[in-house]
Amino acid sequence: MNTWFITGGTPGGFGMAYAEAALDNGDRVALTVRRPEELDAWARPYGDRVLVLPLDVTEEKHVEPAVRAAEERFGGIDVLVNNAGRGWFGSIEGMADADVRRMFDLNFFAVLSVLRAVLPGMRARGRGCIITMSSVAGLRGIEGFGYYSASKFALEAVTEVLRGEVEPLGIRVMAVEPGAFRTRAYTGFSGEPVRETIPAYRPMLEKVRAAMIAEDGNQPGDPARGVRAVLAAMAQDSPPQRLVLGSQGFDAAVATLEGNLHDIRSSEALSRGADFPAV
């Protein structure tokens, strides 16, 4: 029986899907959420196998106590799912500094806070699994979501380096990159006007916002099926380093990486010509 620590337990999202899949497997779950009362009715049937913890992951001083509470309740954490995150739209030039910092606080620095609080226990036991919920936007920049993409690119880099550092210690690490999934992630866009400081970018951002609102509820990805794919990948003898979720996301990721490879190779002579001449 494994114990999971999952952030971002908003109803209808990936965090809840992970929690339900883990519980269906007979495991135990510590699930964090900013408004725990929303999960009272959901948690009740699972009894003492569920611990719902109030946590805003951007409040660093509250992260370690939440992790300690889960460890004290269940004896340790076997699987960490760093899931909490969100995106806001805006141009690279015109997005307010406060909004950029808010994005990185949630999508990057909060992930590090949770990671650093959980790792000591995993290292002490010599085992564990870390799942980083990234995004296809962490593999390709999305127009209008440049800083969201930047936060996910940063997460990809940290996850890749972390994997090499902790695998010798018995801890596995996997990045998960969903495309468009039918969660509540897009719901708030209908009530959020475009906040742009430079008028030249407003038409582009209005189109981005309209597209997100139109897609809400029609995204092709199913969170429950996506999580089952992650669990199947984790169960392999040699789990993948990263897992793209959804056909739309898979096609976009492959096209982007193949395009990048073509672009790099097309300038091979220039790249190699930057070295000192061979002696």
| 52 has pLDDT over 60 | yes
User: Which residue in the list 134, 135, 149, 151 is annotated as catalytic?
Assistant: 134
Per residue in 245-271, pLDDT tens? Answer: 999 999 999 999 999 999 999 999 999
How many other CB atoms are there within 10 angstroms of residue 203's CB atom? 11
Residue 221's pLDDT band (boundaries 50, 70, 90)? confident
Q: Sorting pLDDT into bands at 50, 70 and 90, what band is 88?
A: confident
Sequence-ordered list of residues with C-beta below 8 angstroms from that of 87, at least 6 positions apart, any chain: 103, 107, 137, 145, 148, 185
User: Which residue in 147, 148, 186, 201 is the catalytic one?
Assistant: 148
Q: Give 247-255's long-range contacts (Cβ < 8 A, gap of 24+).
A: 247/179, 247/220, 248/179, 248/180, 248/220, 248/221, 249/136, 249/177, 249/178, 249/179, 249/180, 249/221, 250/179, 252/136, 252/140, 252/179, 253/136, 253/139, 253/140, 253/177
Active site residue 152: yes
Give me the pLDDT at residue 228, please. Answer: 96
Taken in order of first residue, the domains within the chain and their CATH numbers are 3-268 (3.40.50.720)
- Structure confidence at residue 211 (pLDDT): 86
pLDDT of residue 191: 62
Task: Give the pLDDT band of residue 12 (cuts 50, 70, 90).
Answer: confident
Residue matched to tokens 């982007």? 256
pLDDT tens string 139-192: 999 999 999 999 999 999 999 999 999 999 999 999 999 988 888 766 665 566
**pLDDT for the residue numbered 278:** 87
pLDDT given at position 29: 98
CA dihedral 154, 159, 160, 164 (to 10 degrees): 140
Place of tokens 């790249």: 271
Q: Which of 149, 152, 186, 201 is catalytic?
A: 152
Residue 14: its pLDDT value, please? 94
Neighbour order of strands in the sheet with 3-6: 50-54, 28-33, 3-6, 79-82, 128-133, 171-178, 242-245
104: pLDDT strictly greater than 80: yes
Enter the pTM of the model: 0.92
Annotation says 134 is catalytic = yes
Give percent of the chain with pLDDT exceeding 90. 82
CA distance 181 to 5: 22
- For the segment 49-54, the average pLDDT, to the nearest whole number, is 96
Strand, coil or helix: 246: coil
Entry field: residues in the chain: 279
Average pLDDT, the chain: 93
